Amino acid sequence: MYPSGGIIAAIENAFHTTPQLVCLKGALEEVRLCLTKDFKFRDCVAASDCPEYVSLPAFASLDATKPAGRLISGAESS
């Protein structure tokens, strides 16, 4: 479990703006950074809906048996 206030503070320190955290059943689902119309960071006005401590969702590859893709140059594709 991670303190949601610590996540917000880390983002504020890095980006100098207040993010919005979105949670589902106590797990962090989204971190939203808000922008102005000219794409500059601004504080998000909507309150975060996360509890004081959140878990991070587990990440699972769709198919861990396949290697990551790579670019093929023109010579290799013929």
**b/e for 14-23, b at 16 or more Cβ within 10 A?**
eeeebbbbeb
Q: What is the pLDDT of residue 76?
A: 45
pLDDT averaged over every residue in the chain: 83
**pLDDT over threshold 60, residue 71:** no
pLDDT band at 58 (very low <50, low <70, confident <90, very high): confident
Structure pTM? 0.69
The CA distance from 55 to 7, in Å, is 11
Segments of the chain assigned E as strands: 2-3, 20-24, 27-32, 34-35, 41-42, 53-54
Q: What is the pLDDT of residue 38?
A: 97
Q: What is the pLDDT of residue 64?
A: 54
